[in-house]
Amino acid sequence: MNSNPVPTPDEWHRLFNAALNQTLTPIDKESLSTLLKSNADARQLWFLYNDNECSLAEIRHVIPAPLLKTSARTRTSSLSLNPLMSAVAGLVIGLFCATVVWGYVGNYSPKPIALLEETFETSAAPLVTGMPLQPGQWSGDFSEIVGPTSNVQPAQGKHMLRFLRADYQGKPIRDGWVADLFHIIDLTNPDLGIHRGDVSLLISAQFSALPQADLQRLSCGVTVYAIDALPPPGERDDAFLSRAALSENPETSESALRILATSARTETTDASPNHWQNVASELRLPASTRYLMIHLRAHLHGSHRPEIPKPVEFKGLFLDNIRTTLTQRPALP
């Protein structure tokens, strides 16, 4: 019987990076196998860490153990594939595909680069002035950094972000029901290799909420924008977000800023103090990308109704364990 505990979400990235870097211990391999067997979110993020280019036709040739040792199409490095197959025995065909990729990815893919790991342990509280205009700042709606609150334990560490209200200081339209948090990441360092056009961004974050009266469901999501300039002051907040519709026709805009690409992922779950919902997304970055705009958002289903006072005040709406990673590989379709 396996006595090792199933890894918590904060361990996922460590295990995945160790797998790609060929530094997994025997205990780590067993933990990763258990995680991938039992957790759909972890399997999805694991696929994002790997180049999922193998097909069912290829699998029929590479799954048998003798072929794993000798087949040229696996392109193995010094890492033995037999332990990997043992570690993921019993998984679905798609996971066998990921396992084969694991064996040869190191031959052509640089190590993932962790851009951001935010668990609100040492950070100052985010600004409450809406969307930031400079890299390196968290800003958005009214929020605070707290410890365990109302029976909600942080997803990682001892602290988490608590959204207080669905608006920010000076917001011109005070009818909000969605809590927003933004962050800009500077990608102009040439060492990141964005200019080569083969870099993808992986992002994940965890959300939790308490129910409020008949508002019993949580909707939470992550949106990422690849942009070629910093937002000017006049495009803070909704003015920037509305530009997504113009990104296909940048010549119609008077601003020098262009949204080059965007990716969004939304999940829905019950509002419960005992559950953290993981949201993961990926974006292939155009070669001309210079900055990333991260938009984290959450609201309670039904809070848009006119009888709910606006801006909505949250009894308990939480965010934690935000991670962004660069990988040099094509994004999944």
In a 3-state reduction of DSSP, which class is residue 61? helix
pLDDT value, residue 111: 77
pLDDT value, residue 39: 76
> How many CB atoms within 10 Å of residue 66?
7
Q: Are 120 and 219 in a shared domain?
A: yes
Query: Bigger pLDDT: 3 or 141?
Result: 141
Identify any residues that bridge with 297 across adjacent strands, giving them in sequence order: 180, 221
Answer whether residue 3 is part of any domain.
no
Q: Are 73 and 209 in a shared domain?
A: no
Answer whether residue 1 is part of any domain.
no
90 has a pLDDT exceeding 90:
no
234-262 pLDDT, tens digit per residue, is 666 665 666 554 444 444 444 567 889 99
Band of pLDDT at residue 108, cut at 50, 70 and 90: very low
Answer whether residue 98 is part of any domain.
yes
pLDDT value, residue 293: 93
Q: Are 177 and 232 in a shared domain?
A: yes
Distance (Å, rounded) from C-alpha 44 to C-alpha 36?
Answer: 9
73 has a pLDDT exceeding 60:
no
Q: Are 253 and 276 in a shared domain?
A: yes
Query: Bigger pLDDT: 69 or 234?
Result: 234
Domain ends where: 107, 142, 161? 107
Q: Are 151 and 210 in a shared domain?
A: yes
pLDDT value, residue 172: 76
43 has a pLDDT exceeding 90:
no
Domain ends where: 107, 137, 168? 107
pLDDT value, residue 20: 62
Q: Are 79 and 137 in a shared domain?
A: no
Residue-number span of the structural domain to which 49 is assigned: 9-107
Average pLDDT over residues 260-287: 94
pLDDT value, residue 329: 64
Answer whether residue 226 is part of any domain.
yes
Domain at 281, CATH number: 2.60.120.260
**pLDDT > 90 fraction of the chain, expressed in percent and rounded:** 49
Q: How far is CA 110 from the centre of its chain?
A: 20
pLDDT value, residue 51: 36
pTM of this structure: 0.67
Average pLDDT over residues 186-201: 93
Q: Are 235 and 94 in a shared domain?
A: no
DSSP 90-104: T--HHHHHHHHHHHH
Answer whether residue 209 is part of any domain.
yes
For residues 296 and 322, the answer to whether their CB atoms sit within 8 Å is yes
Q: State the total domains in the chain.
A: 2
Domain ends where: 107, 130, 163? 107
pLDDT value, residue 7: 58
110 has a pLDDT exceeding 80:
no
Q: Are 33 and 130 in a shared domain?
A: no
Distance (Å, rounded) from C-alpha 282 to C-alpha 181?
Answer: 18
Distance (Å, rounded) from C-alpha 237 to C-alpha 172?
Answer: 10
What are the structure tokens assigned to 8, written together?
């918590």
Q: Are 232 and 93 in a shared domain?
A: no
Band of pLDDT at residue 283, cut at 50, 70 and 90: very high
Residue 228, Cβ density class (10 Å: 0-12 exposed, 13-18 middle, ≥19 buried): middle
Average pLDDT over residues 123-144: 91
58 has a pLDDT exceeding 70:
no
Answer whether residue 333 is part of any domain.
no
Average pLDDT over residues 190-218: 94
Answer whether residue 2 is part of any domain.
no
pLDDT value, residue 253: 46
pLDDT value, residue 256: 61
Q: Are 128 and 32 in a shared domain?
A: no
Q: Are 183 and 199 in a shared domain?
A: yes
Q: Are 217 and 192 in a shared domain?
A: yes
Band of pLDDT at residue 122, cut at 50, 70 and 90: confident
Answer whether residue 184 is part of any domain.
yes
Supply the mean pLDDT for the chain: 76
Query: Bigger pLDDT: 24 or 285?
Result: 285
Residue 108, Cβ density class (10 Å: 0-12 exposed, 13-18 middle, ≥19 buried): exposed
229 has a pLDDT exceeding 50:
yes
275 has a pLDDT exceeding 70:
yes
